[in-house]
Amino acid sequence: MTAMAAEVPPPAQNGAPDRGQDGAPVGDLGRRLARRRTELGLTREETAARAGLAPSYLAHLEEHAGASPNTGVLLRLAGVLETTLNRLAGGDTDLPPGTGRASRHAEFTVLEQEESRALLGSHGVGRLAVPTDEGPVIVPVNYDVVDDSVVFRTAPGTTPARAVGHRVAFEVDRIDDALSQGWSVQVRGDAVAVTAPEETARLAERAHSEPWAGGRRDEWVRIEPFEITGRRITV
């Protein structure tokens, strides 16, 4: 075992990982490490080996909110996870995606319909463009895809609720600043209110995402698409 791989975690104060009710790591660094590792399809053991760390130490970093590795460890992890030290540390939390430099060898491609639908179905947060009397407004919403339609929950009187009865645009994307690449998918369709009790119950049962904004948001809106397009930038 190398000197790097010999790094082990200090003992936890209570002897148990700091985890939420769903079993996920609660520390900001731990969440970022685990999420990025999962995005790349790496196991904890593979990541630790490539960074020259003991798997138990990486487990400690992911599972304990108070873990504070030195800069050298973070730099090695950032390299393995194809990201930046700033991003791992959460320094870009309040910055919009796309601040990295453009690649000299970027390739722009239009996605096939099947891939566009698959990416749209990954769920998460998308941007809804709503026409209003004052002009178009774009707002983020937590969404799901059910029966090939984009659905989301909102509250009466909110901007997303004003989409009902209009033809709207909806966009979702993923941007990797570290590699200057990403994709986006756009949906154009008609927004309708879902009011039938049996239908709203079915959507509530099948939906994965809940509104981050909090409060009572029981009004379901469905975007019935007539066009789905996608594009990708790769290095």
pLDDT score for 25: 39
Q: Which domain holds residue 144?
A: 107-234
> Tokens representing 120?
């749209």
- For the CA atoms of 149, 152, 153, 158, the dihedral, rounded to the nearest 10 degrees, stands at -110
Does the structure show a pLDDT above 60 at 4? no
Q: Measure the N-to-C terminal CA separation of the chain; round to a whole number of Å.
A: 35
Considering the domain boundaries, does residue 113 fall inside one?
yes
Helices and strands (DSSP H and E) totals, the chain: 7, 7
Domain of 48, CATH number, reads 1.10.260.40
Same domain, 63 and 152: no
Number of structural domains (the chain) is 2
Phi, psi for 216 (deg, rounded to 5): -80, 120
Lowest mean pLDDT among 7-11, 43-47, 157-161, 222-226: 7-11
- Other CB atoms within a 10 A radius of the CB of residue 186 amount to 20
Considering the domain boundaries, does residue 100 fall inside one?
no
pLDDT score for 2: 41
Domain end point (choices 31, 59, 94): 94
Residues 57-108: tens digit of each pLDDT:
999 998 887 788 888 899 999 889 988 887 787 765 555 666 666 667 778 8
